[in-house]
Structure 1
């Protein structure tokens, strides 16, 4: 059995006339295995809003997340980070020598 997906960061496109980011965050947070959702607006265009969505949980079912977002009229543009395993491991910044 694969290790549980604990955190995923998505680049998402949401229609301007679609649901609010509050509604999107609540709908996604209600899915099984999800403990929290953070949505930040990155850019607003004429017809779409570009969002960064961070999702954390004990066992995230990415397929369910993608399906819920599609039901809300959103499109996943890219998966920018995925963390799996027994705990969330944060990425460390490493300075390069000059």
Structure 2
């Protein structure tokens, strides 16, 4: 089976879990080389974030379990890249310029 190289997820996380801590916990998972979290919307108790997870062999189930252990909820899987490499059209987006 082809390994997952990139996931883009729509996630709802508790406000009390710092975004930096959220990203660090996920980046510590085996097979994950990098994470990026972009705030989309904040409410009193929750934040809607876009989570990008990249690596040589990302384990979707472990990512989902980590999100849940941090009190988050996975809303949707917005993008998945599998195989030996990230296709060219996704390389430009993969540099996380939207974080600047």
Per the TM superposition, whether the score is higher than 0.5 is yes
- Over alpha carbons, which structure has the higher Rg? 1
Aligned to 2:66: 68
Task: Flag the structure with higher helix content.
Answer: 2
Residues paired across the two proteins, number: 90
Q: Secondary structure at the match of 2:85?
A: coil
Inter-partner Cα distance in structure 2 for 1:54 and 1:85: 17
Superposed CA RMSD:
1.1
Aligned to 1:83: 81
Aligned to 2:12: 13
> Any gaps of 5 or more consecutive residues in structure 1?
93-98
Segments of 4+ moved more than 6 angstroms: none
> Any gaps of 5 or more consecutive residues in structure 2?
91-100
- 1:4-60 Cα deviation digits (max 9, x unpaired): 00000000001122x101001111000000000000100011221000000100000
Inter-partner Cα distance in structure 1 for 2:12 and 2:31: 23
